[in-house]
């Protein structure tokens, strides 16, 4: 709602970052306002002061600075709002026995190099509403990847200015922007020893081979299982858009090479690159009817399945990782100041004649 009424233009805080401030330009009157935010009982930054209708940004800025100093001198770190209906989500306070702790959670919690990720994940978790009642326990144990994906989606939807409902966890998210609610179910590709390869592909040819059948089977199995849940028959979902948001966690770092396998499965087509005698690139689509891997046979083309018409879209990301949160946390100023990050990877090549991705740092 705030984004509809005004645009944020400047941001401030006290030295301890217990009090935040922002200057806004009002869309209706074209004048200047400011807001002051402090943490409530749950750790969420909320309105604790502000003023409106300044003629200039300089006037609003001066008033904001005085108000931040006033709150900062008090030394408060919590500003109770009196409406806390849930406990503070202290996601890194241990809630399960040591033997159940997920190794990536332990590294995230204890390794200084991951301190930017830890800081920003904790900040997101403060605002997250645990409708299932077991989020922290699962985040720390065997549900770590699935819960990290849910937190990533929560942050993404918030960043895209959706209003996120807190009345139902089936599907995972009800989000509203405008008049129509959208329902999103988070899906993960998980390890399955009976199907998974026991090696890591290291060449383009190996990766391309896995895109043929192995990865379509890996993506297809959880998506098909979600179809059987028939979310569209739920009274609150019926007649509204339903999205499956999927992420691959089935092997360490598999998300960096698996995405094309999802496209193959969703549309039941495989694109082949052909080069003529002059080296010019063209492509041809091959229709696929099924995928087989280690005795498992699934029909190809998710959107060709009878009940898939009830699903509006499949959303995919391969970025809901500790590394992603580490980068975003570092950019936002979280974590130890001596942490340095270097990112190396591939990016989309916009050359229409390209066949390979770009490698970049």
Residue 19: per-residue pLDDT? 98
pLDDT level of residue 1 (50, 70, 90 thresholds)? low
Residue 184 near residue 171 (C-beta atoms within 8 A) = yes
How far is Cα 39 from Cα 44, in angstroms, rounded to an integer? Answer: 5
Residue 292 near residue 218 (C-beta atoms within 8 A) = no
Residue 360: per-residue pLDDT? 64
How far is Cα 137 from Cα 135, in angstroms, rounded to an integer? Answer: 6
> Does 269 have pLDDT greater than 70?
yes
Strand pairing category for 6-13 and 181-189: unpaired
pLDDT digits over 77-117, tens only?
999 998 887 888 999 999 999 999 999 999 999 999 999 99
> Does 4 have pLDDT greater than 90?
no
Give me 71's structure tokens.
Answer: 């709150």
Residue 276: per-residue pLDDT? 83
> Does 261 have pLDDT greater than 80?
yes
């Amino acid at each position: 709602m705030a984004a509809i009424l005004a645009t944020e233009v400047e941001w401030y805080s006290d030295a301890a970052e217990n009090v935040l401030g922002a200057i806004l330009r009002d869309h209706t009157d074209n004048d200047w306002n400011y807001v002051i935010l402090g943490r409530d009982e749950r750790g969420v930054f909320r309105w604790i002061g502000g003023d409106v209708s300044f003629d200039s940004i300089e006037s609003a800025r001066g008033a904001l600075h005085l108000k931040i100093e006033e709150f900062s001198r008090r030394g408060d770190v919590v500003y109770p709002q009196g409406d806390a209906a849930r406990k503070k989500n202290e996601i890194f306070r241990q809630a399960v026995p040591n033997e159940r702790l997920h190794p990536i959670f332990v590294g995230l919690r204890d390794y200084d190099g991951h301190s930017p990720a830890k800081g920003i994940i904790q900040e997101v978790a403060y605002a997250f509403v645990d409708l299932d009642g077991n989020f922290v326990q699962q985040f720390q144990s065997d549900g770590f990847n699935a819960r990290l994906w849910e937190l990533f989606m929560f942050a993404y939807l918030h960043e895209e200015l959706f209003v996120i409902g807190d009345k139902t966890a089936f599907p995972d998210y009800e989000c509203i922007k405008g008049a129509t609610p959208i329902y999103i179910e988070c899906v993960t590709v998980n390890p399955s020893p009976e199907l998974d390869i026991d090696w890591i592909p290291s060449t383009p040819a190996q990766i391309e081979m896995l895109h043929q059948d192995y990865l379509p089977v890996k993506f297809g199995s959880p998506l098909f299982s979600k179809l059987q849940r028939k979310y569209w028959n739920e009274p609150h979902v019926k007649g509204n858009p339903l999205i499956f948001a999927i992420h691959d966690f089935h092997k360490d770092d598999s998300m960096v090479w698996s995405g094309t396998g999802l496209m193959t499965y969703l549309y039941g087509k495989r694109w082949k690159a052909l080069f003529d005698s002059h080296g010019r690139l063209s492509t041809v689509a091959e229709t696929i009817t099924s995928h087989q891997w280690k005795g498992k046979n699934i029909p190809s083309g998710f959107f060709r399945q009878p009940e898939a018409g009830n699903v509006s879209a499949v959303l995919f990301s391969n970025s809901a990782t500790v590394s992603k949160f580490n980068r975003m946390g570092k950019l936002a100023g979280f974590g130890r100041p001596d942490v340095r990050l270097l990112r190396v990877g591939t990016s989309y090549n916009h050359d229409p004649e390209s066949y390979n991705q770009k490698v970049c740092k």
